[in-house]
Homo-oligomer: A and B are copies of this chain.
Amino acid sequence: MSGTVRLFRGSTPVEGLQPDDRGFRYGEGVFETMRAHRGAVPWWPAHWQRLARGAARLGLPLPPPGMALAEASALLAGGNAVLRLQLTRGGGGRGYASPGTAEPTWVLSLHSLPPVPAGEGLRLRWCGLRLAAQPALAGIKHCNRLEQVLARAELDTGEPADEGLLLGPEDELVSAIAANVFVLRGGEWLTPPVERCGVAGVCRGWLLEQGLARVQRLSRGDVEAADAVVLTNAVRGILPVVRLGARRWEPHPRMRMLRQALAAAHPAFVDPDLETA
């Protein structure tokens, strides 16, 4: 399924990407990575809302909303997949000044669902890289992702790990590399704020809206002392963590409850890997 892709400039389908695209030149864009289930994207409204928030922050025009959804549905053709939507400023201008006239580039692409993690949950490590604090870009899913790429490369060597945890400049917990993080403490699920670093994940947003978790500043020690830890993202839902360096966690009943709540709301997450975790 990988490689299925459609490109647009404004409301016009186009064949290829121009080398002067400001997404390519400066990462001037935003993207969404979505879980599609039987041809639909249950969280489409939340993804679109975040895309719009990011586009507004960067001053980018949005693709025509109805057209984007129709093209996404056509591309999905009833299947289960990961759907990616990237929006950039479009072409023009050598320098940092955005050309006011550029029509936005947007790209839809289909990708295979990620493999189900082996074992009872994820093995994590702390990343050495610290995320920088940039309130002007925090929360949105922009295309300046070198920090995440560098953090992910750390996992290629050393003790095997499925994901890495990232701290901010004040040693505060921010997130995993491609997921938000929730820790269970005193019977509550807590997740760090995203006003200075990190991305406001769609699955994270759902858990907060449902009142199943709340935002709180957390330290490295808070994670290690937690009763349970899960990672969340919009593609994989809620993933239990079994290990962080030397720290081990047994499956926790509250973890199972959280995942069942998600599966009840979103059929995409009623999957064998969730049922047997």
Interface residues of A (CB under 8 A from B): 2-3, 5, 7, 15-28, 31, 33, 58-59, 82, 84, 86, 88, 94-98, 107, 109, 111, 129, 132-134, 136-137, 142-153, 155-156, 169, 177-178
Contact = CB atoms under 8 A, between A and B. Distances in A.
Contacts of A144: 26-27, 144-146
A126 B22 CA distance: 25
Contact of A148 (B7, B96, B151): B96
Smallest CB-CB A-B distances: 5 pairs: A27-B27, A132-B132, A144-B144, A26-B145, A132-B134
Given A25-B86, A96-B148, A18 B17 contact: yes
15 contacts: A16-B17, A17-B17, A17-B19, A22-B149, A24-B143, A58-B149, A58-B150, A59-B153, A84-B94, A96-B149, A96-B152, A97-B153, A97-B156, A132-B132, A143-B146
Contacts of A25: 31, 86, 143, 145
B136 A150 contact: yes
Nearest to A144: B144
Contacts of A148: 26, 96
A169 B136 CA distance: 12
Q: For the complex formed by this chain, how many copies does it contain in all?
A: 2
A261 to B, nearest CB: 26
Contacts of A153: 59, 97-98
Contacts of A133: 132-133, 169
A88 B5 CA distance: 20
A56 to B, nearest CB: 12
Given A17-B21, A144-B144, A152 B98 contact: yes
A24 B24 contact: yes
A96 B177 contact: yes
Contacts of A178: 95-96
A137 B147 contact: yes
A98 B26 contact: no
A82 to B, nearest CB: 7
Nearest to A108: B19
Contacts of A16: 15-17, 19
B94 A28 contact: no
**Most chain B Cβ neighbours within 10 Å, of A15, A18, A23, A178:** A23
A111 B95 CA distance: 10
**Most chain B Cβ neighbours within 10 Å, of A15, A18, A25, A109:** A25
**Most chain B Cβ neighbours within 10 Å, of A20, A31, A153:** A20
A249 B136 CA distance: 32
Contacts of A96: 145, 148-149, 151-152, 177-178
